[in-house]
Amino acid sequence: MLFLWLYMFYSCAGSCAGLTARGSPAPPPTAPPLPPLLPGEPGEESSLEEQRAAPDAGSPISSFFNGSGTKRLPQAIIIGVKKGGTRALLEFLRVHPDVRAVGAEPHFFDRNYERGLAWYRELMPRTLEGQITMEKTPSYFVTKEAPARISSMSRGTKLIVVVRDPVTRAISDYTQTLSKKPDIPTFESLTFKNRTTGLIDTSWSAIQIGIYAKHLENWLLHFPIGQILFVSGERLISDPAGELGRVQDFLGLKRIITDKHFYFNKTKGFPCLKKAEGSSKPHCLGKTKGRTHPDIDQEVVQRLRDFYRPFNMKFYQMTGQDFGWD
């Protein structure tokens, strides 16, 4: 029917053009459409938002020309935590045919909120009916304004937090920074405000992120605990199919991602996909994942374990899960 309609449309267009040429005077020429605003021109934000919002509200014909599906705001967001395993979880989830996710981190609710929801929606992939739109930005979990902003978008948004032993997570965080800035101070010196007294420097982000209970309290002001899924970063490595099963259940998806999708890469030390999304080849996360950690003074490691212990216990109580970090 669609192609028949197009055929009739173009046939009519040709006939009408002929009639105009033979009979009635041609209508006066119309002004050419205005070019899209270039970055930096006045009114850029509102004009771009209007232009970006328009295609998704169009007819089935416009959808046919613009690609299948509709751009929607995400129904689920991986909100944290940094160096917990969020990239692995996202890549694993993208294998599912009913999950469509943004590859890059949008950082909308922490850095780009002023751009507006239309800008945010334009970043999303097109989805068909029944598919879930997702994104992941690990810094949301520690951003004070993020819970209220996401709730304002949709109170029904499902949230996923990938957590990991906070001591190991802090060392991994430091390792990542060290790879970019080799001249930074040692992990030991950054850990303490005063090493003699043993006072931990909670203003250092690598330490502060791991106080999960504190950050979770902020989220529970806006979302019920049942709307947040806590994924174990350790089990995501030891039993990826098991953790993915929980995630698929939480998202209301059929359990399609199973053991058959994974193999363990001994060199990297974590599971990889036998077949990535849209590919028939095996896929492992890049070289920025699975870095070798520097040797840290075991006394400092123990001091950190003692520091985190009460916060971990509270986090276990709040979530109803014992992650076994102690």
Tell me the CATH number at 262: 3.40.50.300
Task: Please report the pLDDT score of residue 279 as a whole number.
Answer: 59
The answer as to whether 15 is a domain residue is no
The answer as to whether 20 is a domain residue is no
Beta-carbon contacts of 64 under 8 Å, excluding residues fewer than 6 positions away, are 2
Q: Which residue range forms the structural domain that includes residue 269? A: 70-319
Confidence check: pLDDT of 264 > 90: no
319 is in an annotated binding site: no
172 is in an annotated binding site: yes
Confidence check: pLDDT of 37 > 60: no
Confidence check: pLDDT of 301 > 70: yes
Mean pLDDT of all residues belonging to the chain: 82
Confidence check: pLDDT of 44 > 90: no
Decide: residue 178, CB within 10 A, 0-12 exposed, 13-18 middle, 19+ buried.
Answer: middle
Over residues 121-129, the mean pLDDT reads: 97
Question: 38 vs 188, which has greater pLDDT?
Answer: 188
The answer as to whether 41 is a domain residue is no
| AA letter at 98 | D
Q: Mind listing the pLDDT tens digit for each residue in 152-176? A: 999 999 999 999 999 999 999 999 9
Confidence check: pLDDT of 27 > 50: no
Task: Please report the pLDDT score of residue 267 as a whole number.
Answer: 74
Over residues 300-308, the mean pLDDT reads: 97
Over residues 246-274, the mean pLDDT reads: 90
Residues catalogued as catalytic: 83
Task: Please report the pLDDT score of residue 276 as a whole number.
Answer: 63
Reported confidence tier of residue 277, pLDDT bands at 50, 70, 90: low
The answer as to whether 13 is a domain residue is no
Confidence check: pLDDT of 266 > 50: yes
**In 3D, which of 270, 264, 265, 263 has the Cα closest to residue 234?**
270
267 is in an annotated binding site: no
Contact call for residues 157 and 75 (beta carbons, < 8 A) = yes
**Distance in angstroms (rounded) separating the CA atoms of residues 53 and 50:** 5
Dihedral angle sign, alpha carbons of residues 276, 282, 283, 289: positive
Q: How many domains are there within the chain?
A: 1
Q: Mind listing the pLDDT tens digit for each residue in 80-116? A: 999 999 999 999 999 999 999 998 999 999 999 999 9
The answer as to whether 326 is a domain residue is no
Confidence check: pLDDT of 16 > 80: no
The answer as to whether 9 is a domain residue is no
246 is in an annotated binding site: no
Decide: residue 252, CB within 10 A, 0-12 exposed, 13-18 middle, 19+ buried.
Answer: exposed
222 is in an annotated binding site: no
The model's pTM is 0.77
Contact call for residues 161 and 230 (beta carbons, < 8 A) = yes
Task: Please report the pLDDT score of residue 326 as a whole number.
Answer: 81
84 is in an annotated binding site: yes
Share of the chain above pLDDT 70, in %: 75
The answer as to whether 222 is a domain residue is yes
**Distance in angstroms (rounded) separating the CA atoms of residues 206 and 213:** 15
The answer as to whether 226 is a domain residue is yes
